[in-house]
Amino acid sequence: MKKYVFLFSILLCACASDEEVYTDIPEENTETPTIPDDNDVNGIDMSEYFSINFSDLPNYSNPEYPIHYVNSLADNNEPADNQATDTGAILGRILFFDKQLSVNDAVSCASCHQQGIAFTDNNRFSTGIDGVSVTGAHSMRLLNARFYEDGSFFWDKRAQTLETQVTMPIMDSVEMGFDASNGGIEALITKLNTIEYYPALFELAFGDEAITHDRIQRALAQYIRCMVSTDSRFDQAFAQVYNPNVPGDGVGQNFPGFTAEENLGKQIFTTNQGGINCATCHQLPTFALNNNSRSIGLDAGETTVFKSPSLKNVGTSAQFMHDGRFGSLEEVVEFYNSGIQLGPSLDNRLMQNGQPRRMNLTQAEKDALVAFLRTLTDETVVSDPKFSDPFIN
């Protein structure tokens, strides 16, 4: 049961192979795993490898949320059979940062999804295992991934669940290399069984030492779903004015601590000023995409329905869109203002009289939108030790 903390003041709180690989899933051990009382986990001294205190694991399973998040908590993609546990998420964190999950020990998930920049990559395309080849899409920010209710992942939504998505880059020939020619996921499982700490960690998380594709997926998904942003300047201000008895829970009033420009940008983002209510697709307060949203018309005749990550920490990104074509928030805002292209997949909210909508914002209004988007930066989550590299070396 998640804990909801009702605070009215500032809260303290890509790119994979299309080939499916299946492994037999053993019957789960239903016994509760034993939590170690020191850094010895099932006979393995974890202090030789990790900076984690295994006798006092970080809290992943029972997070505190600010008052303005309460009505959004149910809008998530966490399945009933993979609820986050502290032991499962800590295993996921270790897997996420371990370069040994690549075929040549060169790349980890964290190589392309870096905590300090909201789990993305500042390069337009990420470098693969050979140090030369690059991915086919820009690395997507992972913050608030749990709140995309539709549950599908990747820019083109080809993975039906986060659990499915997390191992597809591992099996990609460019990204992490365990494709069919290198033995697929079974070769990775064989490799993990030879690494001293993994059988013990899987036993800690799941009750026995069996390492399976399903369990790798579950652990990684648990960790990623815990990456929730709740402490941006937007969040701090919204928590102060939150009122469930007024429209928009109070988001329409001027936020304390915001400049006049930032409040104007918030007004444009959350109303029909300019003809596009951004918040109908990028839902507050998570800024995750509404599950009925379609494409934004990046290219004329576009047929693919692309998704967007949450806009939290969008201001710290260096590249934008699935192909990283824009290099600044100013370019992104100008695209929405004047550059939307007509195509079969275009969202009808971005159309007017059968043509792409034009916002016709003034320069001051465009600047205000950019200023507002920068208030979504959460410095807490990108420096939180519980999401950091756990390895000593």
pLDDT digits (tens, 9 = 90+) for 195-215: 999 999 999 999 999 999 999
> What gap in Å lies between CA 211 and CA 23, rounded to an integer?
11
Residues linked to residue 4 through DSSP beta bridges, in sequence order: 65
Q: Which pLDDT score, from 0 to 100, does residue 2 have?
A: 45
Burial of 392 (0-12, 13-18, 19+ CB in 10 A): exposed
For the record, the structure tokens of 202 come out as 């899987």
Residue bearing the bigger pLDDT, 183 or 148? 183
pLDDT of 308 > 80? The answer is: yes
For the question of whether the overall pTM of this predicted structure is more than 0.85, the answer is yes
Residues pairing with 159 in the sheet? 153
Residue 309 has what pLDDT? 95
Confidence band for 231, pLDDT divided at 50, 70 and 90: very high
Check residues 45 and 4 and name the one with the higher pLDDT: 45
pLDDT band at 274 (very low <50, low <70, confident <90, very high): low
Nearest-10 Cα torsion for 336, 342, 344, 346: 10
Confidence tier at 51 by pLDDT (50, 70, 90): very high
Burial class of residue 183 (count of CB atoms within 10 Å of its CB; 0-12, 13-18, 19+):
middle
pLDDT (0 to 100) of residue 22: 31
State how far the Cα of 189 lies from the Cα of 179, in Å rounded to an integer: 13
**Comparison of pLDDT for 275 and 292, the residue scoring more:** 292
For 170, the token pair is 């591992």
Highest mean pLDDT among 14-18, 272-276, 381-385: 381-385
Structure tokens at 101: 């999950």
pLDDT at 12: 32
Mean pLDDT, rounded, for 130-150: 94
What is the mean pLDDT of the segment spanning 354-361? 94
